[in-house]
Structure 1
Amino acid sequence: MDTAVLRAAYDVLLAEVAAGGFGPPPPGDWTAEQVVAHLTLNDDLLATATEAVLAGAPWAYYNHNAVHTPELNELISGCGGLAGVADRLRASSQRLCNLVDRLDVLAADTPVETHIRDGDRIVVDEPLPWGRTLDIHERVHLPAHTDQLRALRPAA
């Protein structure tokens, strides 16, 4: 698979993280640190599923740990805050992109049981071709969180 769009989406997102200047979120929303932690944990889940697809092993992708606030806060604490979790995101995104580079058309068409939650909503709960799940991540998920980070900056 071509990872140009995926890599570009990460570049834009990481530039937003590096720009900083984030304020507090609206009640019930994630902080900038939690958004970055979510993406880092999600990258790890996507990478593990991609490794399974490459190995021809059955796998299921569930993003529940990547949306569980205590898990996010634990990662943030362990990384020492935004700068540390951003470093982890750079590494996890690079790992994921390198794995996705190895997917051929047949592997990308491999059905993977996919369960995606957005807050309390279940958005996807069915087998999807793995390439489709990765496409959702690069074209919908990453840009949505980039916009979420931008919205955390106080108006000038």
Structure 2
Amino acid sequence: MDTTPLRDAHHALLEAAAAVARATERPPAGEWDAGQILAHVSLVDAVTVTAAVSAASGAVTTYDNRVAQDSWTLRRVIALAGGEAGLRERVRLQGEALCALVAPLSEAELDTPVPTLLLSHGRVQVDGLVPLRDLVTGLAEAELPGHTKQLLNLLP
């Protein structure tokens, strides 16, 4: 699998996060700050890495993003990473790991159907089988660019 779009999406997200780190603006009420956005991305990356490893090993897996939206979990990830700088490094390394994991997968592995539950703002977006390839592509084409835009919206 060509991981260039995934690498590029991670790079753009991290550039936006670095720019936001230099700014002092707070997000509007009810919106995530940069740390929460990065913690969310870190959790989504981790779930995607788990799905890729499972597909490669032949293990049964699921893909569920609910934990990546839980405010207590986001705060815990921020604390465990040591703040936004630690989160940026974590997301960078997770992006590299994910690219390294999916690049050599066979077509059959990429076509592995993964039981998936995706929520956004409390609403179900996907509840069904999704090929691993589509989860990775969705991360590169929608999830990461969406959070990059969300970060850039925090700039003054």
Smaller-chain TM-score range?
over 0.9
Which residue identity does 1:120 align to in structure 2?
G
Question: Counterpart in 1 of 2:100?
Answer: 98
The structural deviation recorded for 1:128 is 0.9
What is the root-mean-square deviation in Å for CA atoms of aligned residues?
Answer: 1.1
Go from structure 1 to structure 2 and tell me whether the alpha carbon gap of 1:22 and 1:134 turns closer, same or farther (over 3 Å shift): farther
Higher relative contact order (CA 8 A, sep 6+): 2
Give the secondary structure class of the aligned counterpart of 2:2. Answer: coil
The structural deviation recorded for 1:22 is 5.1
Residue 85 (structure 2) pairs with residue 49 (structure 1): no
TM-score, length-scaled by structure 1: 0.94
Moved over 6 A (4+): none
Distance 1:150 1:41 in 2: 20
Distance 1:81 1:10 in 2: 18
Which residue identity does 1:130 align to in structure 2?
L
Question: Counterpart in 1 of 2:41?
Answer: 39
Percent identity for Structure 1 against Structure 2:
37
For structure 1, the 5+ residue unaligned runs are none
TM-score, length-scaled by structure 2: 0.94
1:43-100 Cα offsets, whole Å, 9 max, x none, are 1111011100011122111111111111011111122211111111111111111111
